[in-house]
Structure 1
Amino acid sequence: MAFGQYEDESTALFFTDHPDESFSGWMAELCPKDPYYGSKPDWKPLLAQTFEQLNVYDEMILYYLLFTINSTLSINSHNTYSEMNDLMKKYSFLQLSHLHEITCLDDEQKEKLRDFFFFFYLYAHPVNEETLHACSFHTQHLIHTRTSIPLEDYFATYYDFYTTHRDNYVEQIVISAEEIQACKTLTLELLHAVEGRSPKLLLPSVKGLEPVIQLINDVDGMLKLYKDDPVAFCQIIRDLLTDVMRDVAFETNAGANTNTDNTANANTETIRVVAEGTSDNSRSYREYCLTVLLQNYASYILFFDFNDIRVFINAFQDTPKECRFIISKMFTDTIFLQKMIRQQKIDLNKYPEVTQFFNEEAKQGYL
C-alpha cells in the first residue's frame, strides 16, 4: 500500500496494484443492509454461525467500528470542521497508544483518560450515537458491550470470511485474498494501538524540535518536568511559540502580497524562504507539535486540576500577544477543554485572568 491524495488534498492509503481502491474504502460495497430502513429485518448477520449472540443491529455497528478504525490512516481536510475532527481523532489515537506506559498516573486516572480519548476517537470520526457507546474496555481489550464479543475476534473473523469466500463477491471486492489478509494485519495493529497492547507511537524528531518532541513522546517526562520546574516547561513552549508565530507572520505577509506584481511576489517568497531556512512541511510540523504539546497540557494536567491554568497564565502574561495566541489555540484547536469544563462544571467567569486572553473564536465557544 502507499499513501495518495485526492483532488481536495485529503489523503488515504491506497493499494499499489489497485490505485483507485483504498484501505478504508475497499469494503464499502460490503456494507450490511440497514436494519433501521424499511420493514422489520428478516435476515441474519453474515457471521451469525460464529457469533450466535450477534443481531443485525450489532452487525451494522461493528461494520461502522471497523471502518472507523481503518480510517485512522486517512486525512480528511474538506473544511475547518473536518480538519478539527481529524486532529482530535489522531491525537486521541496517539494518546491511547501512550497511556499504558505512563507511570506518573494511577490506574484510575489512566482509565478516566482512556475513556475520554476513546470517546473522542469515535466522536470525531464521527459515528452515530449507538456506535459511540457500543464498546467498553475489558482490561486491555475492547469488547462489543451488548454481546461481549472482542473486537479483535470479530474483525479477524470478518477478514477471514471474505478471504475464504472472495470468489463469491467478485462484484464487490476488487482486491486479492492476499491483500485482504494484509488489511487484517493492519487493522489489528491499529486496534492494538487503541487498546494499548502495542509499543507506543512516537513522533519523529527533527533538528531544532528535540526538547518538544521529547516531551510529547514521554508523558512521564513532561509531567515530571512540569512538577519539578514549571518555568522550564513553559520556556520550551515559549521557544516553540516564537518560531510558530514567526511562521504565521510570514504566511500572513505572503498572503497580503498575492495581488502584487510578479517581482513583489518573488521577493516575498525569497524573503520567506531565506528567513525560514526550511520548508512548508517543517513549518506545519512545528505548529502541529505546538498543538500536541498544548493539548497534552490540557489532557494530562488541566484534566485533573483546572486551577493549574493559572500557572500557565503567570508564565506568559508578561507577553500579552503571545499569551493570547497560545491560550486561544489551546482552547480552540480541539473541543477537549469544552468537554472537560462541562464535565467538571467549571465556571469560567471565575477565571477572568484566563478569559481576558481569549480571541473572538474562543469567546464564541466558551463565553
Structure 2
Amino acid sequence: MAEESRVTWRQAWKPDLKSCPWIPLPVSENQFWLKSHFQSDSMAISIFDGVHVWSESNTVEDVSAKTKLYNPNVEAPVSKVLQHLKECLQFNSTKGQLRVHPKDGDRKLLLEVTSNLTGGVPFKWKFETEKKTEETISEEITFPLLCMVSELIQREKALVSLLKRKDSEIDDMRAGGAKASRKYLETVPFNHKGFQQERVQSKSFEELVKKRGQNCFDTEGQTLYKEVMVTSAWIDRPQHENNFAAEGVAETLPVNSDRGKESPSWANKVPPSLLPQDATTSAGSSPAGSRNSSPRKSFSPGKLEEQQTELLRREALQRKLEEAKQKQEAKPKKKKKKLF
C-alpha cells in the first residue's frame, strides 16, 4: 500500500528547480555546474562553482522583456525562446556558446549565451544570477552528495555480496567437473580488500582527485542526484498530500492553502437532499411551532459518504472547466514572422 501511495504521489508531483540535477558547465578553466528548470511560461537556473550558489528565476513577462532588450530584431513566442534556451543549456549541448563572469564582486554571476536561430539569425541572452545563502548550498549540494555517497556505499556492499555468491556457485560447478569453454573466461575468487587497495593506488584515482570531482555529475551522477531529491520531496511532503496519496486520490481534493485560490462558493455546499431534515428546515422560514413538532434526526454515515461523493464530483467538474479555460487562453496567437 505504501509503495502504491508513493507511485500515486510521484505521478501527481511536479518537479522544480531544486530536484533538477547539476550538469558540468565547461565555460573556462574554472569548473562550474549548472541546473535549470524550464516550463512553458517560466524558467529558473542555478550555478555552482564549488563554493557558492547563484540563482535566477524569470516569469513570462521577464522573458518577453529580455527578448526585446537583447534581441530587438527577433519576433517569436515566449515558449519558443524558452525552448531554444533550454536546448542551449542541456548536457553536452553544442547549440550555443556560454561564458561566465562575476558582477558586483561575487554577489552576482552573469551567464551569457550566444547562438544562432533558424536561418542563421544571431541570438544572445544574459542570465543575471544572484548569490544564495549557505542554506541553499546545504539543501542542494551537501545533503544530496552525502546521500549519494551513502547509497553508493550500500550498492558496493550489495555487489560484493553478489560476487561472493557467484564465486561460491563457480566453485560448486567446478567441483562437479564443469569448466569454462575458453581459458580467458576463467576468473579468480574476488578479493574485496585487495580490490579497494588497488583502486586507491591506481593512476585513475589520482587523476580523479586532481580534477576535484568534475565527473561527479556525469550521466549516472545526475540520475542518482535526481532520485535523491525526489525521494527527499516525498519524505518532506505536506501531511495532506500523504493522506490523499494513501487513499489513491492525490490531486483530487483541492488544497486552498497551497494554491492560494478560493473554491467556488457552491463547491463546498451539500445538496439539500443530502442534509438532515432539521438542517433543511432551519435554512428557510419554518411554520410556527415546527421546532418541537418532530424530534431531531441524526446524520448517518451513509449520508456523509453521499456528501463526500457529491463534493468530489463537483470539484472534479470545476477543475475540468478551469483546465478547459486555461487551454483556450494558452492557444498561441498567429505571428506574421516566425524565426523558429
Q: TM-score higher than 0.5 here? A: no
TM-score by length of 2: 0.24
Please tell me whether Structure 1 or Structure 2 has the larger radius of gyration of its CA atoms.
Answer: 2
**Greater RCO (CA < 8 Å, at least 6 residues apart):** 2
TM-score by length of 1: 0.23
Structure (1 or 2) with the greater helix fraction: 1
